[in-house]
């Protein structure tokens, strides 16, 4: 039987499987028949064989992000994408999902507000059907200006009044080599003051000063990746104890880290150190559509690496509920559902 799980680090665009993208392409061609679309990479025709999957590199899959953006340029397509991603997670045993996405405006087609509202409405409609509970984390791209993040926050706070149970947090993401997360701290504090939880992509590349400030000043509710914190992976003997002291749960995405080469080998992955230090962590996918790594496969990878029993993995899945941005009563409901025989 599929293990019940929560998924806490998933980007909407990267969670779309090839077959889902082909369906979105067909939809776009029907809706806007005279509009040229970006060409899919040559290898990208489902079903994609295991051999093809294994030979892919980041350079192969990166162009897909541009394709996804072109396909989801109007509210109908955004709704279709959200539904597809939720269905795929549910089919893999995910009972609770936090999905993140950067709001985007497309001239004459969609405002940022429409983009966010579409995600929230689609989630609430789907939540009413049961089986899986989904929530939205609004992403800020660290390459964008503070003014853009501030505008997004204002929209999020307006929408939060309408969707208080579904719009639950803010994510800071984007190319870790550009921008400075420290400049976002005052805005992130403001988001927190208004009741939004904070999930921050941190230390994907070595950056001692930024990582130190986020860990010790901001103290977010969760950290995404946190690869370059342990001294063996580009962190330092100052950062690692700071993480352990802060007890901030880490969202661990093995396949993504290996694919993006932020961790050289599976055996060197920092989840080994997190486990040894009894530090809280959650197994997540990041971009399961593009990295071909459903959450159940990520659990299997961690199990193999840590040599854990099935019972220990069930326990890990159960503990992950503690680190969600769900309400206390939702957490209780999830714990009961996970413990059903
Ligand atoms: Zn991510």
Write down the pLDDT at residue 54.
79
pLDDT at residue 1 above 80? no
What share of the chain in percent tops pLDDT 70?
Answer: 99
Taking only the tens place, the pLDDT of each residue in 278-325 is 999 999 999 999 888 999 999 999 999 999 999 999 999 999 999 999
pLDDT in tens, 141-200: 999 999 999 999 999 999 999 999 999 999 999 999 999 999 999 999 999 999 999 999
Query: Residue 226: its pLDDT value, please?
Result: 97
Residue 250 alpha carbon to ligand 1 centre in Å? 12
As separate numbers, helices (DSSP H) first and strands (DSSP E) second, the chain gives: 16, 8
Spatial distance between the Cα atoms of 313 and 3, rounded to a whole number of angstroms: 9
Share of the chain above pLDDT 90, in %: 85
- With CA atoms as reference, report the closest residue to 120 among 179, 162, 175: 162
Question: 142 C-alpha vs ligand 1 centroid, how far in Å?
Answer: 12
DSSP assignment letter at 110: B
Rounded to the nearest angstrom, the distance between the alpha carbon of 199 and the centre of ligand 1 is 10
What local confidence, expressed as pLDDT, does residue 57 receive? 81
The pLDDT-based confidence of 228 (bands split at 50, 70, 90) is very high
State which residues have CB under 5 angstroms from ligand 1, the bound ion: 286
Question: Is-cis flag, bond preceding 47, omega within 30?
Answer: yes
Are 224 and 199 in contact by the 8 Å Cβ rule? The answer is yes
Q: How far apart, in whole angstroms, are the C-alpha atoms of residue 239 and residue 203?
A: 10
Is-contact 159 188, C-beta < 8 A?
Answer: no
Per-residue pLDDT tens over the stretch 105-136 = 999 999 999 999 999 999 999 999 999 999 99
Contact call for residues 226 and 203 (beta carbons, < 8 A) = yes
- pLDDT score, position 43: 81
Closest C-alpha to 91, from 27, 11, 20: 20
Residue 276's pLDDT is what?
97
> What is the 257 CA–ligand 1 centroid distance (Å)?
10
- Rounded CA separation 25/214 (Å): 40
Q: Which helix (H) or strand (E) holds 281?
A: strand 281-283
Full set of structural domains in the chain with CATH: 5-339 (3.20.20.140)
Distance 25 CA to ligand 1 centre (A): 24
pTM score of the predicted model: 0.96
pLDDT digits (tens, 9 = 90+) for 28-71: 999 999 999 988 888 887 778 877 877 888 788 888 888 899 99
Report pLDDT digits (tens) over 91-103: 999 999 999 999 9
Yes or no: say if 151 and 115 are a contact pair by the CB < 8 Å rule: no
**Pick from 282, 274, 278: nearest CA to 313:** 282
pLDDT reported for residue 89: 98
Q: How far is the CA of 11 from the centre of ligand 1 (A)?
A: 6
Would you state the pLDDT for residue 307?
Answer: 97
Catalytic residue numbers?
Answer: 204
Q: Tell how far the Cα of 298 is from the centroid of ligand 1, in angstroms.
A: 15
Residue 32 Cα, ligand 1 centroid: separation in angstroms? Answer: 31
8 Cα–ligand 1 center, Å: 10
Q: Measure the CA angle with vertex 233, ends 209 and 169; round to 5°.
A: 60
């Amino acid at each position: 039987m599929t293990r019940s799980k929560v998924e806490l680090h998933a980007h909407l665009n990267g969670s779309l499987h090839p077959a889902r993208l082909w369906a979105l392409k067909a939809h776009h061609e029907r809706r806007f028949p005279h509009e040229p679309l970006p060409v899919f990479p040559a290898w990208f025709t489902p079903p994609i064989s295991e051999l093809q999957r294994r030979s892919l590199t980041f350079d192969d899959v990166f162009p897909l992000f541009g394709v996804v953006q072109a396909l989801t340029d109007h509210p109908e397509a955004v709704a279709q994408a959200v539904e597809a991603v939720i269905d795929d997670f549910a089919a893999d045993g995910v009972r609770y999902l936090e999905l993140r996405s950067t709001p985007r405006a497309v001239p004459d087609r969609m405002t940022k507000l429409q983009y966010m509202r579409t995600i929230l409405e689609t989630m609430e409609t789907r939540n009413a059907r049961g089986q899986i509970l989904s929530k939205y984390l609004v992403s800020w791209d660290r390459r964008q200006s503070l003014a853009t993040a501030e505008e997004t926050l204002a929209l999020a706070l307006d929408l939060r009044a309408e969707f208080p149970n579904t719009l639950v947090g803010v994510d800071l993401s984007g190319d870790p080599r550009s921008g400075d997360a420290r400049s976002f701290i005052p805005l992130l504090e403001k988001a927190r003051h208004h009741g939004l939880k904070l999930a921050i992509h941190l230390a994907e590349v070595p950056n001692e000063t930024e990582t130190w400030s986020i860990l010790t000043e901001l103290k977010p509710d969760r950290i995404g990746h946190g690869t370059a914190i342990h001294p063996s992976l580009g962190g330092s003997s100052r950062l690692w104890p700071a993480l352990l002291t802060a007890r901030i749960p880490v969202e661990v995405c093995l396949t993504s880290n290996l694919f993006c080469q932020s961790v050289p080998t599976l055996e060197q992955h920092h989840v080994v150190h997190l486990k040894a230090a009894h530090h809280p962590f959650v197994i997540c996918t990041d971009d399961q559509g593009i990295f071909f790594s459903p959450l159940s496969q990520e659990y299997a990878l961690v199990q193999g690496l840590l040599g854990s029993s099935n019972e220990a993995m069930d326990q890990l899945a159960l503990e992950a509920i503690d680190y969600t941005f769900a309400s206390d009563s939702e957490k209780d409901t999830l714990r009961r559902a996970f413990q059903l025989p």
